[in-house]
Structure 1
């Protein structure tokens, strides 16, 4: 049986100062992918913290990154959204948590519920929600967009990152379905 070399065994590669092997990964490709997952986890948490802090800078509301995302997605394309739309657009299936976030945004006066029945309910931003999302966008421009615009080749790098993340999203969805069929009883 041929054993794959690890990153530290590859000729011509400097030996890393720290051991990159995880319980999740031993071989070079596994290590690289696991490091990417770890970076993705840290990026997600930093992004959620950024969303929360940026929103708190424009409105007196303690909201999570996910609640901030829901607010902006409701406003996206200036069209009302259903819970089904929100779940699909955020790639979430935790409808009770989405409903909790919607109640929080409604109570803050940022979103309004319209319609009735199972399929007739939609959510829209209020005038206050429009003001808050506009102010958020302006602050985001000043703090974040201006900062990343100075990075070399950022547009191309972001396009490649977006394609890769969308591809990984599909792979994770597929393997999550497979894993769900192998749950322990």
Structure 2
């Protein structure tokens, strides 16, 4: 027999979760609500969900700011329009000054969009920043050119003068960075695992199975 969808707008489980969330609301969240500042929405009904969505929004905003910073810093090194991910790819290719394959670049950056990486590589090669070596039989790898080396060195100098100086001016920020790195690495693993679970147990979109 087919299972019927709940058309009331909220499931029994969802109602219980919301009620539990209200009971478990932290003092900080309660104070925010009393001030007319409600962080709850459809992805954030319980305190745990509120905290997680706040973190996710912070990560998204940080990612966008990080991309803008990378683009602006690179623009100070060379007249070349590159996105944040393309700039990051250039530095990962330069990292440890050794050639890397597309597969290794994807692994280091936790990416699986190989066609996009290949497009970015062609763009960096056309700009004279990266060169390709090897063959399909022996293995293709990528490394920075002398120009790429010069540009990444200049980038590091600007980064040191602006970004690192700003970070070092905040007392205790180095310890907070270490904690943030551990937290983000842990979250990366959690997201990877739940992504696999979601992909494994995905249901048809055209209704409940009988």
Given the alignment of the two structures, is residue 127 of structure 1 paired with residue 169 of structure 2, yes or no?
Answer: no
Q: TM-score under structure 1 normalisation?
A: 0.93
The one of 102, 105, 110 aligned to 1:86: 105
The one of 33, 44, 48 aligned to 2:63: 44
Unaligned regions of 5+ residues in structure 2, if any?
1-15, 205-210
Report the 3-state secondary structure (helix = DSSP H, G, I; strand = E; otherwise coil) of the residue aligned with 1:59.
Answer: coil
Aligned residues of 1:8 and 1:16 also touching (Cα < 8 A) = no
Deviation at 1:164, TM superposition (A): 0.1
Unaligned regions of 5+ residues in structure 1, if any?
none
What is the Cα-based RMSD across aligned positions, in Å?
Answer: 1.9
How do 1:47-66 and structure 2 match up within 5 A?
47-66=66-85
* Cα distance between partner residues in 2 of 1:11 and 1:45: 31
- With 161-170 and 19-28 compared, the bigger mean Cα shift is at 19-28
Structure showing greater relative contact order (alpha-carbon pairs closer than 8 Å, 6 or more residues apart): 2
Q: TM-score under structure 2 normalisation?
A: 0.83
Given the alignment of the two structures, is residue 4 of structure 1 paired with residue 20 of structure 2, yes or no?
Answer: yes
CA displacement 1:123-180 (0-9 Å, x = unmatched) = 0000000000000000011111101101121111000000000000000111111111
How many residues are paired up? Answer: 185
The one of 156, 163, 166 aligned to 2:175: 156
* Cα distance between partner residues in 1 of 2:90 and 2:38: 42
* Cα distance between partner residues in 1 of 2:181 and 2:138: 32
* Cα distance between partner residues in 1 of 2:201 and 2:72: 39
Report the 3-state secondary structure (helix = DSSP H, G, I; strand = E; otherwise coil) of the residue aligned with 1:183.
Answer: coil
How do 1:63-142 and structure 2 match up within 5 A?
63-117=82-136, 120-142=139-161
Given the alignment of the two structures, is residue 177 of structure 1 paired with residue 169 of structure 2, yes or no?
Answer: no
Larger Rg: 2
